Amino acid sequence: MLKKIVIFGVGLIGGSFALALRKAGAVEQIVGVGRTAASLLRAKELGIIDVISTSLEESLKNADLVLLALPVAQTEATLAAIKPYLQKNTIVTDAGSIKGEVVLAARLALGDKVGQFVPGHPIAGLESTGPDAAIADLYVGKKVVLTPLSENSAEQVATVQQAWQQCGAVIHQLTPENHDAVFAAVSHLPHLLAYALVDDIANREHADLLFQYAASGFRDFTRIAGSSPEMWRDISLTNQDAILTELDAYIAQLTRLRSQLADGNGEAIHAMFSNAQRARHNWQRSIETAEVQPKQDGNE
Ligand SMILES: NC(=O)c1ccc[n+]([C@@H]2O[C@H](COP(=O)([O-])OP(=O)(O)OC[C@H]3O[C@@H](n4cnc5c(N)ncnc54)[C@H](O)[C@@H]3O)[C@@H](O)[C@H]2O)c1
Ligand SMILES: O=C(O)C(=O)C[C@]1(C(=O)O)C=C[C@@H](O)C=C1
């Protein structure tokens, strides 16, 4: 049972963490720290948080766990602001979609207190943002990847692990480098592609006509272009090298496909599409069907 948790950034991810712990009866008091008064008031109105923070010192007093669930570029400044009030028994974790730069930021900001920071990343989300998007069951059956530091004790890691398990999540561990390479390929690249495609269509002279006839294929491919531009700008810039590697590989693949099409090489095109179809079916069978899918509208 956590007596007090403090959430910096009470949006989709932080709000869902709060709702899940509350649903599990695993927390007594939840304090919210935010960027705008309006979104914190909304989070309180929705029953996500109990208290809106007015003083960091007061908020962090006797806190068991702090979660950073804000755009990753805010990590260093936020941890630096927390440090003076961080008590010995408080554990800090985060939900950021990249881990290498977050760990660097934590080392810079927390210095000798960095052992109290256990980096994490829930592999669950939606394109919707803010407290209204939060859902208690977002993490049920989903993975949370922890990338513990050598300075973390087993107990500190276990506290973060248990909190996510109370949310229904399954814990995995990776190094920050492996984490960032993996998610550059299967999360960050698809977001960049979706944004680039929709931006390209939106800038065409006859965009209205194109959007008028865009249907479910377009919707499925581009759902994630509805995600927060601030969040994805920060992810792109903080995982720049790994994403550039993936973009280059994808551009090479598109170039291959273009040549096959220009040559009218139906055999090669069919082979590529068949391989992709097989891989997609296998992935869906082995991973996706084992997980509970949150409803698209963000409601329970
Ligand atoms: N959306 C996803 O699918 C997803 C999945 C896993 C992890 N994440 C990570 O979780 C984090 C939060 O994403 P989200 O989807 O909940 O976004 P969100 O926009 O729903 O919530 C972020 C909240 O942080 C607040 N915020 C911004 N700067 C702040 C600051 N300096 N101090 C306090 N609050 C601040 C914003 O006002 C907002 O309420 C990001 O780091 C993201 O990389 C997102
Ligand atoms: O479903 C979505 O909208 C998501 O983008 C979720 C998603 C992803 O699968 O890429 C996005 C970012 C994360 O850090 C983890 C999960």
- 39-94 pLDDT, tens digit per residue, is 999 999 999 999 999 999 999 999 999 999 999 999 999 999 999 999 999 999 99
Q: What is the pLDDT of residue 212?
A: 98
pLDDT computed for residue 296 by the predictor: 44
Domain residue limits, the chain? 2-173, 179-262
Nearest CA to ligand 2 atom 9: 187
**Reported ipTM:** 0.99
Per-residue pLDDT tens over the stretch 254-273: 999 999 999 999 999 999 99
- Assess contact for 9 and 129: CB atoms under 8 A: no
In 3-state terms the chain splits into helix, strand, coil percentages (rounded to 5) of 60, 10, 30
3-class secondary structure per residue, 233-272: HHHHHHCHHHHHHHHHHHHHHHHHHHHHHHCCCHHHHHHH
Best of 224, 291, 297 for a ligand 2 pocket test (most atoms within 8 Å of beta carbon): 224
Task: Please tell me the distance from the alpha carbon of residue 285 to that of residue 62, in angstroms, as a whole number.
Answer: 45
User: Which segments of the chain have a pLDDT < 70?
Assistant: 288-289, 292-300
- Find out whether the beta carbon of 32 lies less than 6 Å from any atom of ligand 1: no
pLDDT given for residue 287 in this prediction: 80
| Positive or negative: CA dihedral 71, 76, 77, 79 | positive
Task: Report how far apart, in Å, the C-alpha atoms of 145 and of each of 13, 51, 85, 131, 180 are.
Answer: 14, 29, 27, 23, 11
CATH number of 2-173: 3.40.50.720
Res 136: pLDDT? 98
Instruction: Identify which of 130, 9, 11, 141 has the alpha carbon closest to the alpha carbon of residue 74.
Output: 9
| Domain 179-262, CATH | 1.10.3660.10
Tell me whether the CATH fold assigned to 2-173 matches the one assigned to 179-262.
no
Whole-prediction pTM: 0.96
Nearest CA owner, ligand 2 atom 11: 125
Tokens representing residue 293 in the block: 């899918």
126: CA distance to ligand 2 center in Å? 6
- State the distance from the centre of ligand 1 to the C-alpha of 273, rounded, in angstroms: 36
